[in-house]
Structure formats: C-alpha cells, structure tokens
Amino acid sequence: MAKGKKIVFYCQNCGYESSKWMGQCPGCREWNSFVEETVSPQKSGSLNGARKEKQAPVSLSGIDMDKEERMLTHIGELDRVLGGGIVPGSLVLVGGDPGIGKSTLLLQVCRELSKDQRSVLYISGEESLRQIKMRAKRIGEFNENLKLLCETNLGTIKAVIEEMRPDVVMIDSIQTMYDEEISSAPGSVSQVRESTNVLMQLAKGLGVMIFIVGHVTKDGNVAGPRVLEHMVDTVLYFEGDRHASYRLLRGVKNRFGSTNEIGVFEMQDKGLEEVTNPSQVMLSGRPLDASGSVVVCSVEGTRPILIEIQALVTQTNFGLPRRTSVGIDYNRVNLLMAVLEKRAGLQLGNCDAYVNLAGGMKLGEPAIDLGIVLSIVSSYKNRAVDPNTLIFGEVGLSGEVRGVSMAEQRVKEAEKMGFTTCILPQTNLEALKGKFKIHLAGVSNIRESMNYV
C-alpha cells in the first residue's frame, strides 16, 4: 500500500467510520453494512478560487435580505414543494427509483429557467450528449442559455463551474462523480460524501443553485451514507409506480420551507405534466355502491386531497388470519381492527383483512383513521357507504373520534368536489355550523359512525 494511505470501514447506511469490520453498525444498528475502502489522509475538496477573501462575522441586522429572492422554476408543483422557488446558493438532492422521471424533471426545469434568461449548466455522468438531446427533443424547444457537459471528474467540473459561474447547475448523478484524490471507486461512500462536500462549498461560495440526482437503494433510501442527506439543504423524493402515469414529489427535508407539501405530476409523451387537482385524479374510476370503499380527506401541507380507501374482509381458511395494507401503516391497521373488536364487538379474529389506498399514494395522517374503520366495517357487513359521503377523523384506543386540524379546508374541498355528506368529529362540528351547504354529521365514537354503514 502507498505510504500515507490507510484502510477504513464505512457503514453504507449511515456513514459510521471504523478501523475494523463489524457485523452490526453501532450507529444505525444495521447488519452487514460495512465496506472496506482505502483513503488518503490529505484533505481534498477545498475551494481554491471560490472563497479567497477572508470572511468576517456580521450581525443579523447587517444582512441584506433583498438579494435572497427565490428563483421560480415556473413549474408550479415543484415551486410548491421547494417552498416558493429555489433559494440562491442552495443544494437540492432529488432521489427516486430508476425510470421514475428524475432526469426528465430536471431537464424541464432547465428548459423553463433558460427561457427565463438564466444560465444553466447540465452535467451528466450517465448519458452522452446525443442521448440528452433525444430526451430534450421530446420535451420541447431549448435556447442557448442551456449548456451541456458530459463529465465525471470532479476537478474538471469544479473548474468549469468556477469559470462559467452559471445560475443553476444540474448534476446527474452524484454516484457517477469521482475525485482523483480519493482512491475508492465512484459510487462508494467516500466518493459520494466528498463529491457532495465539494459541491456544497461551490454552492455556498459562489451562490450557485445546484441540483443533485441521487440513486436509491432497494429500501427506497438514497444510495450512500445518510450523512449525504444532512449535508444538502433540501431533499426531494419521487414516489409512484414507474409503470403508472402519476408521480408524487415529496419534500423530506427543506431548510427554506415546509416538508409537508407534495407535488403531483403525470408522465406523458412530452414529459411531466402538472396535476393541479389531485383529488379529481385520485377519485377517477372509483366504484359506486361497492362495500368496503370510502372516501377520506388528507391534508398534505396546505393542500387537502381526497382519496379512496378500499378494504376487503373475508373469512380465513387457516388458523392464523392474514393482514395486508398498501399505502397505509400496517401496524395502524392492526390497531384499528383491535379497537373495532374491543369497542364495537366485531368478530374480526377469524377474518383476513386487506386494506388498500387507491392511486399509489402513501398516507400516515391520523385523520384517515375513521375512513379505515368504516371501510373495514362496510366490507365486514357487506353494506356500501353512500358514495357521496366524505369521512375524516382520528380514532383513539377507547373508540372515541378525536378532532383534527384544518377541518374547514377539508369540508370546503369535499363541497367543491360535489359531496353531499361529511362525517367528521363532533369536536370539529361546532366551529363549522352554518358555513357550508353540505350536510355535516358529527360523531363522537366509532359506534355512532357505524350507523352510516
């Protein structure tokens, strides 16, 4: 081994560093996640030309906020998730499954920003210039403000960015970038972490907005150490089935806005199209007068979304009943079924139960608890819930229905979508009386709500 180099073991899940291999990581408790890498002690990735002047401490009152105006991408759903646009000098990580549309979305952002007379640099380490142009022709017309570069050497990329000083830089993807001073292979823990560190210093030192594409593992996390997510300013995840047309863009981390907002897109021949009314999309094609099907309202950030919950309860053929949930927390479904058995007297111990959230979404808000309960009861009794009824409310362990936040926005969305009845917690009913034409039915426990099945 060359003089000055040493062998270090890194955890691929959290980035924990150790001088020897261990079966279980002490940091994240993951098994068999350590990989061996040869590292050099010298520090790389320092910005030689981006920040030459010495920085002096300043007070909050001396900071000028006029220069921190957000840059709009003119893609409304993306601007919503980012918190109103891109912040100068920010580092954004975009993750998602292969083929989900990450590169397509970033190329569309390049097109809109270049039309807005912004200088954009698109750096690809996976595709050739011809392949990028083939995708660009499908999306639309581009002008000369967009520059393309196919390069994986981080030193070359850094020199180009410092010379060109673009407004926005796209890196596709971070796993293909490598630093010559790091002896490990591209995509390894050391390379990914060092590459992100160099790009972060470039973004902060030059005020350049940088988007990074990150591959994901089979568990859905960004490949490489979790420290990568801590280094960037914003983490966006693309969700959805690659074989379906709808995509969800969710903000997992955002230093400059809310992490509860989601953006809804539809993949079409000419790229990703915005879906401005997700409720209408999620409810299209739902069965009418079918047992086990109810409509609930979940709030993602500031946006209420109506979505269908389907349940199927059947007698089990084995001694151990089966429970399956798609899009909803499995343990939450088991908990609500236990409440039904104890507080409502339903004999579900000898029944298989399958609960599905239509549309490929994933929801964890407690406000959909009452919808899950009534869908299970509807399927168990084989009686349909009125298709023009909307349901929301949180269910406690004693069978009570608790109030939820933003009840007025939920009812307003239901009235806009043509629903005639809304089953909601009794505690929320008092503040909404006389404000809507829709019939409001307040319930205080699950026994009262079962009267509507």
Distance CA 286, CA 358 (A): 9
**Higher per-residue confidence, 355 vs 49:** 355
CATH superfamily of 71-276: P-loop containing nucleotide triphosphate hydrolases (3.40.50.300)
| CA nearest neighbour of 424 among 407, 405, 412 | 407
- Residue 29's CB is within 10 A of a number of other CB atoms, namely 10
pLDDT band at 45 (very low <50, low <70, confident <90, very high): very low
Q: Is 307 labelled as part of a ligand binding site?
A: no
Q: Is 140 labelled as part of a ligand binding site?
A: no
- % residues pLDDT > 70 (the chain): 92
Residue 67 confidence (pLDDT): 52
Asked whether the predicted pLDDT for residue 85 surpasses 70, the reply is yes
Strand ranges, E, within 255-292: 262-268, 271-274
Q: Is 96 labelled as part of a ligand binding site?
A: yes
Residue 27 confidence (pLDDT): 82
Q: Is 100 labelled as part of a ligand binding site?
A: yes
* DSSP secondary structure code for residue 400 in this structure: B
Average pLDDT in the chain:
87
What CATH number is given for 281-452 in this structure? 3.30.230.10
351-357/323-326 β-pairing: parallel
Residue 190 confidence (pLDDT): 79
Q: Is 387 labelled as part of a ligand binding site?
A: no
Asked whether the predicted pLDDT for residue 44 surpasses 50, the reply is no
Give pLDDT tens digits for 366-397.
999 999 999 999 999 999 999 999 999 999 99
Q: Is 99 labelled as part of a ligand binding site?
A: yes
Q: Is 98 labelled as part of a ligand binding site?
A: yes
**Higher per-residue confidence, 158 vs 182:** 158
- Would you give the distance in Å from CA 50 to the centre of its chain? 32
Asked whether the predicted pLDDT for residue 46 surpasses 50, the reply is no
Residue 16 confidence (pLDDT): 82
Q: Is 101 labelled as part of a ligand binding site?
A: yes
Burial readout 381-417 (b: 16 or more C-beta within 10 A, e: otherwise)? eeebbbbbbbbbbbbeeebbbbbbebbeebbbbbbeb
Extents of the domains making up the chain: 1-41, 71-276, 281-452
Give pLDDT tens digits for 234-248.
999 888 776 677 888
Asked whether the predicted pLDDT for residue 49 surpasses 50, the reply is no
Residue 30 confidence (pLDDT): 84
**Higher per-residue confidence, 420 vs 56:** 420
| CA nearest neighbour of 70 among 199, 170, 196, 209 | 209
271-274/293-300 β-pairing: unpaired
* SS3 call for 105: helix
Mean pLDDT confidence for 313-329: 91
CA-based diameter of the chain, in Å?
80
Asked whether the predicted pLDDT for residue 223 surpasses 60, the reply is no
